[in-house]
A and B are shown apart, each in its own frame.
Chain A
Amino acid sequence: AQSVTQPDIHITVSEGASLELRCNYSYGATPYLFWYVQSPGQGLQLLLKYFSGDTLVQGIKGFEAEFKRSQSSFNLRKPSVHWSDAAEYFCAVVGAYSGGGADGLTFGKGTHLIIQP
């Protein structure tokens, strides 16, 4: 069965500082990986995704993520955060899962990002 681990429940970063959110996955085959952001009262919005090719992927809002197969990781980065980046961030993988849903996303528990002024 596939799984996603986001080790950090909360992260606090000063505005203008760099950010890295960690994501580790467990999946037997080549994973399709996603990062979504969820703001209060808002739906989940896709930041970026990886399924093949260049292991460094660029997303919206200045985010990027690097796929490292050897470490089973797909960490999200941003060089300089803005107060509007405060939100919940979810890493997800799609593929066969324990319930049999081939294309349902399996999400991590999320990382709550707090921006200090």
Chain B
Amino acid sequence: DTGVSQDPRHKITKRGQNVTFRCDPISEHNRLYWYRQTLGQGPEFLTYFQNEAQLEKSRLLSDRFSAERPKGSFSTLEIQRTEQGDSAMYLCASSFPNPTDTQYFGPGTRLTVL
């Protein structure tokens, strides 16, 4: 399967703990996006990378959130000192570089903060 993969699929953590999620994009894609989706809402843009460069960050991405894509391939999203409000589905997508290019989404990582 050459689609976008995310790991883990589910994560349960206690408030105050740090968590890290991984996204492996489609190999030919140089753009990688992170979104967050809460219950009953559409996905909300968090940040994106072109190759290893992080080009944009949403105001939703507080200082507790950090994303990396060190070699322009896979990416990690870390949340420090998790809060209950961080509970959501975290989605990763990848694409070629043009805005009209389709963003292909992974299955998501569901985070539950107790």
Contacts and interface: CB of A to CB of B under 8 A. Distances in A.
Contact of B48 (A45, A98, A101, A110): A101
A104 B48 contact: yes
Nearest to B106: A43
Contacts of B4: 43
A90 B42 contact: yes
B32 to A, nearest CB: 11
Given A97-B45, A104-B45, A107-B43, 19 more contacts: A4-B42, A32-B100, A34-B102, A36-B105, A42-B107, A43-B3, A43-B105, A44-B91, A92-B42, A100-B57, A101-B45, A101-B56, A101-B58, A103-B48, A104-B35, A105-B33, A107-B42, A107-B44, A110-B42
Interface residues of A, number: 30
A22 interface: no
Contacts of B105: 36, 43-45
A2 to B, nearest CB: 11
Given A94-B99, A104-B45, A104-B48, A99 B40 contact: no
Interface string B49-80: 00000011111100000000000000000000
Interface string B87-114: 0000101000001101111111000000
A109 B105 CA distance: 17
Contacts of A97: 45
A104 B33 contact: yes
A34 B103 CA distance: 10
A79 to B, nearest CB: 24
Interface in A57-76: none
Give the one of B35, B42, B60 with max A CB within 10 A. B42
15 contacts: A41-B107, A45-B105, A49-B102, A90-B42, A94-B100, A98-B59, A99-B45, A99-B58, A101-B48, A101-B57, A101-B58, A103-B31, A103-B99, A105-B45, A109-B42
B2 interface: no
Contacts of B57: 99-101
